[in-house]
Amino acid sequence: MGELGELLGILTAITFGAAIMNFVIKFVNRKWVMKLPKENKFRQFYMSVMKFLVKNHRFFGFGAAALMVAHIVIQILFAWVSITGLITASLAVVTVILGVIMFQKKKSNKTLFWAHRSAVIALILSFLVHVITKI
């Protein structure tokens, strides 16, 4: 069961990574890709990838949250409880809740937006500590 817990952890990281790519791909688009001519093949490909990631951002986030819950359950039942893992999970829950609130409001709220982004940054740092230390 330890291998299943590890697999679920890896899948959680991949799906959260896909959700986080929403920011990265938009940033790269604003800084470099939009400066390319509209006929450019790379720009056309990039725009299709960006549309896919942006359109499915919330589904990646929900999928990561569901995988995270499964990962936690497996780890608690069959392996060990990690303090850094619980902290990372807590930050992931905060991130998802802020995302859901923003989605439901359908209005741009800079405070919620920056709180969501800050939670993601804390989540990334916490994840790195979790993976590196295994505490």
Taking only the tens place, the pLDDT of each residue in 53-76 is: 999 999 999 999 999 999 999 999
For the chain, the domains span 1-79, 82-135
Q: How many CA atoms lie within 13 A of 38 on its CB side?
A: 0
pTM of the complete model: 0.87
**Residues of the chain below pLDDT 50:** none
Q: What is the pLDDT of residue 30?
A: 96
Among 102, 126, 121, CA closest to 112: 102
